[in-house]
Amino acid sequence: MDPYPAPVSRLIEKLGKLPGIGRKSATRMAFHILNAPRSYCEELATAVMGVKDDIRLCKKCFNLADAGLCGICRNPKRDEHLICVVEDPSDLIAIELTGGYRGLYHVLHGHLDPLQGKGPDTLHIEELLMRLKTEPVKEVIIATNPDAPGTTTALYLQKRLAPFNVKITRLAQGIPVGGDIEFVDSRTLIASLKRRSEF
């Protein structure tokens, strides 16, 4: 029993496929769009297609780009001696938003997952090795996620990067800044104890 006219049903169904959007939110959004000015709807529809039509991957680091190279690779002020390797563009963005990193990136677009048939050739690893041969890289920071597939990927990368004359580092693990020790999980707590540093 669907009380909506077909165009509204269709929009609710499409919006309901977005992450975190249930049927209730999708309905609310659909009614908002229904009552919004035509110009907004056109801009929204154009923006949806825009990320399909106008987004490509940076030829160098595989970050999202709207030209051959991404904004970071195009920026002459970035430190080209540093490459931070991340799994996905959203990880890159999280690091960029901190404002605390001025080097370049390399986006793998995934992680190793042998059970899912995702081997090294599904990631942009060869391209990273090629960059080490042609760019003045001094340090590679491996910033894959601190979960099982991310750690597997990091260990594999470490092995592949070893023959190159670069420093290989990874993100520090420990208790979150501003966190409460009471609520830190025990594996993190053990890591923070093991890697404790002097005052």
Reference 150, options 198, 98, 86; nearest CA is 86
**Residue 33 touches a second copy, criterion: CB under 8 A:** yes
- Taking the least distance from each CB to a second copy, the nearer of 64 and 166 is 64
**Residue 28 touches a second copy, criterion: CB under 8 A:** yes
**Residue 66 touches a second copy, criterion: CB under 8 A:** yes
Cβ atoms of 103 and 84 closer than 8 Å: yes
- Residues 127, 165: Cα–Cα separation, whole Å: 17
Measured between its terminal Cα atoms, the distance across the chain in Å is: 67
**Residue 51 touches a second copy, criterion: CB under 8 A:** yes
Cβ atoms of 81 and 139 closer than 8 Å: yes
- Taking the least distance from each CB to a second copy, the nearer of 84 and 132 is 84
Count Cα neighbours of 152 within 13 Å in the Cβ-side half-sphere: 12
**Residue 43 touches a second copy, criterion: CB under 8 A:** yes
- Tell the smallest beta-carbon distance from residue 5 to a second copy (Å): 4
Reference 86, options 30, 134, 145; nearest CA is 145
- Tell the smallest beta-carbon distance from residue 114 to a second copy (Å): 22
**Residue 100 touches a second copy, criterion: CB under 8 A:** no
**Residue 69 touches a second copy, criterion: CB under 8 A:** no
Beta strands in the chain (DSSP E): 56-57, 64-65, 79-86, 103-107, 139-142, 167-170
Number of chain residues interacting with a second copy (CB under 8 A): 55
Residues forming contacts to a second copy in the complex (CB under 8 A) are: 1, 3-8, 10-11, 13-15, 17-21, 25, 27-34, 38, 40-55, 64-66, 70-71, 89-90, 92-93, 96-97, 99
